[in-house]
Structure formats: structure tokens, C-alpha cells
């Protein structure tokens, strides 16, 4: 299951635009292109933040894959996989700047733990309540 994170996609699209503008500037030095390129050059100031967010998105993709409904899933198997995921998270994201993400992710997971896997054992129970929300 692909998890689409718009902020990451926007940054990557802006990088592609910047590269395209650079290519155009290499061919023709129009002043309008220079101004637009200068605007898109600001994106470079956010590269470090982008890299950190992109790195932190990996656990979210893993969770989305783990919790994606499938015919052969049960609450027991998903609980097993999530416990292993949490252990992987602790052993992989060990940098001091990772602490807020790890703490937040574990806090939310533990907070929802009791009801997180129920839908796999009771097919009439929806996986989310998103369809009921306005």
C-alpha cells in the first residue's frame, strides 16, 4: 500500500521544477526565468528538513503496510508484526533528533493498541471511521 505524504511530494516536485528551470537557463538567459529560478532556489534552504521528514516517513510506510487489511490477517498476526516493528523502530531510529518522532509514534500506537487490531477478527467492524466523519 502506497502512503502519499503531500509535503514530501511537493518538495520533490519543486526540485524537479528547479532542475527544469536550470536547464532552460543554461539554454537561454531570460530575465523572467532568472527570477523564477531565484524563487525556486529557496527550496534548497529546506533540504535538511526534507531529508529528516523523508527519513521519518519510512516508519509510517511500514505501519501502513502492516495494517493494510488482507484476507489472511488476524489480530494476533498483526499484533506480532507491530511488536516487531516497534522493536525495529527503537533499534533503527537512535539519533537524538529521532527521539520526538519515535516517542510520538509509540505513544499513538500504544494509545490505540487495544482497538487497533479488532477489525481483523470481526469483518463487520470497519477498519476506520473515516467514512462516518464529515
Residue 92 to residues 86, 89, 95, 99, Cα–Cα distance (Å): 10, 5, 9, 11
The residue among 4, 106, 126 whose CA lies nearest residue 61 is 4
Overall domain count for the chain: 2
Is residue 35 in a domain?
A: yes
pLDDT of residue 44: 86
**How many CB atoms neighbour CB 88 within 10 A?**
12
Q: Which of 33, 42, 34, 35 is nearest to 14 (CA)?
A: 42
pLDDT tops 70 at residue 130: no
- 93 and 49 inside one domain: no
Whether 85 is covered by a domain: the verdict is: yes
Does 111 reside within a domain? yes
Average pLDDT, the chain: 84
Whether 134 shows a pLDDT value over 50: the answer reads: no
User: In the structure, what pLDDT confidence band is assigned to residue 120 with cuts at 50, 70 and 90?
Assistant: confident
**Domain shared by 31 and 90, yes or no:** no
For residue 123, give its domain range: 69-134
Amino acid at each position: 500500500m502506497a502512503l502519499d505524504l503531500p509535503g514530501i511530494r511537493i518538495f520533490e516536485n519543486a526540485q524537479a521544477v528547479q532542475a527544469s528551470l536550470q536547464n532552460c537557463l543554461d539554454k537561454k538567459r531570460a530575465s523572467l526565468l532568472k527570477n523564477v529560478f531565484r524563487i525556486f532556489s529557496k527550496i534548497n534552504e529546506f533540504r535538511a528538513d526534507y531529508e529528516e521528514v523523508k527519513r521519518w516517513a519510512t516508519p509510517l510506510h511500514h505501519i501502513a503496510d502492516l495494517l493494510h487489511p488482507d484476507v489472511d490477517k488476524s489480530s494476533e498476526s498483526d499484533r506480532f508484526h507491530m511488536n516487531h516493528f516497534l522493536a525495529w523502530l527503537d533499534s533503527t531510529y537512535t539519533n537524538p533528533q529521532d527521539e520526538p518522532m519515535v516517542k510520538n509514534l509509540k505513544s499513538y500506537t500504544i494509545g490505540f493498541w487495544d482497538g487497533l487490531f479488532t477489525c481483523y477478527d470481526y469483518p463487520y467492524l470497519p477498519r476506520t471511521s473515516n467514512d462516518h466523519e464529515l
